[in-house]
Amino acid sequence: MESVEEWVKKLNVSSTKDVQVPKILFDQVIGQEEAGDVVKKAALQKRHVLLIGDPGTGKSMLAQSMVDFLPKEDLEDIIVFPNPEDNNRPKVKTLPAGKGKEIIRQYQIKAEREKKDRSRSILFIILSIVFLGVVFAFILSDWIIVFFAIMAAAFVYMAMAINPAMRAERAMVPKLLVSHSPNDKPPFVDSTGAHSGALLGDVRHDPFQSGGLETPAHDRVEAGNIHKAHRGVLFIDEMNLLRPESQQALLTAMQEKKFSISGQSERSAGAMVQTEPIPCDFVLVAAGNLDAIQGIHPALRSRIRGYGYEVYVNSTMDDNEENRNKIVQFIAQEVIKDKKIPHFDLGAITEIVKEAQKRSGRKGKLTLRLRELGGLVRVAGDIAISEKSDIVTADEVMKAKNLSKPLEQQVADRSIEIRKSYKTFISEGSKVGMVNGLAVLGANSGMADFTGIVMPIVAEVTPSQHKGNGSVVATGKLGEIAKEAVQNVSAVFKKLSDIEISDMDIHIQFVGSYDGVEGDSASVSIATAVISSIENIPIDQSLAMTGSLSVRGAVLPVGGVTAKVEAAIEAGLKRVIVPRSNYDDIVLDSNHQNRIQIIPVDTIEDVLENALVETPERQKFFSRIKSLITPKGFSSQQGITGKNVA
C-alpha cells in the first residue's frame, strides 16, 4: 500500500466538509462488516446478540442501529390500573401506541369533573349549615348558634377533605408506564450500569401507608428498562457487572417475554406490591470485553447462544484505500456529531490516518478503537477553535497528540525525566549483567496506544551454598515474572552456558519498575542479563531489547513494539533488538524515523551476538556454544540484518 502522503493526493475532496456522511446509523459503523451482517440478521429475526470486543470499537453503535431493522411490529403503550379488590396487585393493560396518553387524559378529565362536583357539594353542605345556623339564630334570637354552625361547618369540611372517598377520583387515574407515539421507531434502551430497580422495574416506598394519606400502589409502580425496551432493543454493556440475581431475572424476562414489577427493596412498602405480568418482548444486546464472558451467567449465555448470535468485533481493519477512505468518513462523522469543531483539511486527515496505523500496533492495519481516535479528532478541533481557525490542519493534530497523551504516557515521560537526572540507566559503554529492557505501561488498562518505557534489568549470579539448591531471587514489582522467566529458560541456559543453573543463586532486579508495567516480554532481557553475569561478558548499554523467550531459545513476538522502540529512541539508545516476527509491526512517526538501528532476531544466540561486547570471554563463550548447538538450531548469522526503518 502506498504511503498516506501519496494516497491523500488522490482524494477528490479538499477537506472533510466535502465528505458525504451516511444518513442511517448502520452505515456509519466502520470496519465491522461481519458484525454488522450478524446484527442485521439478528434484528430481522429478533434474536439476541452478545458483542464481545475492545472498548470503543462500535458495539453500542451496532446495537443502536438494530432498531432500523427490527420487524415492523406495532408498538404498545402499557398502563397500570388500580385493583379495587386488592390494592397491592395493580392491573396492567397494553394499548396501541399513542392510545395510552388518550386514556389517561380521559381519566384525568373524569377525575377533575368528579372533584369539581364533590367540591361543589361540600360547599353546598357548608353553606346550608351556616344558613340554617343564621335562620335558627334569628328565630331564637341567640347569635351564639351562628358560631356553633360555623364550627360545625368547619368540622364537616375537614372530615370530608381527609375522607379517603374524597380522594378516590385521583386514586382511580391509571398510570402510564410505557408510552409511544404511533410513528416512533422501536425503542433502544441502554441499561448499562443500571441497578436492578432500573432494569426490572420497581415500586416506590410509601411513607404514609394509612389514614387516607397513602399513595395508591399502582401510582408508585415504575417501569424497568426491560419494559421500556418492549418490542425494541435492550442494550447492556459490561454485562458481567450486572449482579447474578439480576441476570437470572433478566433470563426469566427473556423466556417469558413478560415480567411483573414488585418493589426491589425488601424493607420498603413497595415490596408488598406485585403487578400483573407486564410485557417485555425485547431483543437483548449484551456487550463487554473478552474478560466479560466469565462474568455472564452461564444460563443467560446459553440462552443467547441458543436463540441468537455471539460476535467478536474487530479491533483493526486492513490498511487499504477503501478503509483509509472510511477513516476520512469517520472524521467527517465525528465533526458533524460534535457540532462545534471545524472540518479537517488534507494535512490533518493524513495525520489522523497515520495515527490510526500506529495505534493498530501492526503493520498493514488501521485501528478500529475509534472512540479514542475520536478523542484525538475532538482535541485537534478544540485547538483549532482556540486558535480561531476555521479548518483543522496537521499542526493542530500534532499538538493534539501531545495534549491528549494518556496518563500512562505522562507517567512515562516524567519517569524518563527522573531517570535521566538520576541516570538509572546508561545509554553508552558496557556493563556485565545489566540490560536495557523495554516494557509497556498500561497494557491492561484497555488503552489502544501503549506507552513504552526503558526498564533496566540487573542480574547477579553467585554459586549457591549447597550444590543443586540454588534459588532465584527477584525484586521489584515484576519478581514473579522474572522467576518464571528464569525457570522457563533454564533449558536454554543449560545449553548455552554449560552451567547447572540449580547450582547458582540468581538475583534479578528490575530497576525502578512501576505499577502497571507489563513484563511478560522481559524474558529475553532477563536471560541476556543472567548469561552475561554467569559468563562475565559485558553488555552493550547503547542497546535495548524486547522479546519473549521460548524454552527452546526462540525469540517470540511481544506486544507494543512501536511504543517500546519509541521509548528506546527517546532514551537516546542507538540499537534495539526486536523479535523478527514483530519487525513489520513497527510504525514510527516521522519524528522518530531513522533515529535507531532496529535489529530483528530469531533466537537468543542472535540476541547475544548483538548484545555481548567483544572480549576474550565472549570469543570463548561463542566457540563453546557453537559446538553445543546443532547446525539446524543455530540461525544467528541469517538473523542479523540491522537495517534502519524508514
Ligand X SMILES: Nc1ncnc2c1ncn2[C@@H]1O[C@H](COP(=O)(O)OP(=O)(O)OP(=O)(O)O)[C@@H](O)[C@H]1O
By the criterion CB under 6 A, which residues form the site for ligand X?
28-32, 55-61, 237, 287, 330, 334, 368, 370-371, 374
**CA dihedral for 158, 160, 162, 167, sign (positive or negative):** negative
Strands 188-190, 233-236: pairing is: parallel
- Closest-CA residue to 439 (of 574, 565, 605): 565
Q: Which is nearer to ligand X, 277 or 374 (CB)?
A: 374
For residue 184, what is the DSSP state? P
Would you put residue 513 in left (φ > 0), alpha (ψ -120 to 50) or beta? beta
- Who contacts 84 (Cβ-Cβ below 8 Å, separation ≥6)? none
Q: Which is nearer to ligand X, 236 or 554 (CB)?
A: 236
Burial class from Cβ neighbours inside 10 Å (0-12, 13-18, 19+) for residue 533 reads buried
Q: Is 23 a catalytic residue?
A: no
- Who contacts 302 (Cβ-Cβ below 8 Å, separation ≥6)? none
For residue 286, the minimal CB distance to ligand X (Å) is 11
For residue 53, the minimal CB distance to ligand X (Å) is 6
For residue 504, the minimal CB distance to ligand X (Å) is 48
For residue 51, the minimal CB distance to ligand X (Å) is 8
Catalytic residue among 228, 358, 401, 564: 564
Alpha-carbon torsion, ordered 611, 617, 620, 624, to 10 deg: -60
Q: Which is nearer to ligand X, 445 or 594 (CB)?
A: 445
**Which grid coordinates are listed for 347?**
494535512
Would you put residue 136 in left (φ > 0), alpha (ψ -120 to 50) or beta? alpha
> How many Å apart are CA 117 and CA 113, to the nearest integer?
6
For residue 194, what is the DSSP state? -
For residue 359, the minimal CB distance to ligand X (Å) is 13
For residue 2, the minimal CB distance to ligand X (Å) is 24
> How many Å apart are CA 495 and CA 483, to the nearest integer?
19
For residue 193, the minimal CB distance to ligand X (Å) is 11
Q: Which is nearer to ligand X, 334 or 535 (CB)?
A: 334
Q: Which is nearer to ligand X, 287 or 558 (CB)?
A: 287
**Which grid coordinates are listed for 176?**
402510564
For residue 326, the minimal CB distance to ligand X (Å) is 8
Whether 199 contacts 226, CB under 8 Å: yes
- Who contacts 632 (Cβ-Cβ below 8 Å, separation ≥6)? none
**CA dihedral for 612, 614, 616, 620, sign (positive or negative):** positive
Q: Which is nearer to ligand X, 352 or 461 (CB)?
A: 352
Q: Which is nearer to ligand X, 64 or 603 (CB)?
A: 64
Q: Which is nearer to ligand X, 363 or 371 (CB)?
A: 371
Q: Which is nearer to ligand X, 449 or 602 (CB)?
A: 449
Catalytic residue among 246, 521, 548, 636: 521
**Which grid coordinates are listed for 309?**
448470535
Q: Is 521 a catalytic residue?
A: yes
Residue whose beta carbon is closest to ligand X: 58
For residue 28, the minimal CB distance to ligand X (Å) is 6
Q: Count the neighbouring beta carbons within 10 Å of the beta carbon of residue 81.
A: 18
Distances (CA, A) of 96 to 75, 93, 101, 259: 6, 10, 10, 19
In sequence order, which ranges of 430-551 are alpha helices (DSSP H)? 479-488, 490-497, 523-535
For residue 235, the minimal CB distance to ligand X (Å) is 9
For residue 603, what is the DSSP state? B
Q: Which is nearer to ligand X, 58 or 201 (CB)?
A: 58
Would you put residue 242 in left (φ > 0), alpha (ψ -120 to 50) or beta? beta
> How many Å apart are CA 19 and CA 463, to the nearest integer?
70
For residue 10, what is the DSSP state? T
Nearest 5°: phi and psi at 602?
A: -110, -35
- Who contacts 119 (Cβ-Cβ below 8 Å, separation ≥6)? none
Numbers of helices and strands, H then E, in the chain: 24, 25
For residue 32, the minimal CB distance to ligand X (Å) is 5
Q: Which is nearer to ligand X, 58 or 224 (CB)?
A: 58
Q: Which helix (H) or strand (E) holds 349?
A: helix 346-360
> How many Å apart are CA 581 and CA 388, to the nearest integer?
46
CA 386 distance to own-chain centroid: 30
> How many Å apart are CA 325 and CA 323, to the nearest integer?
5
Enzyme catalytic residues: 521, 564
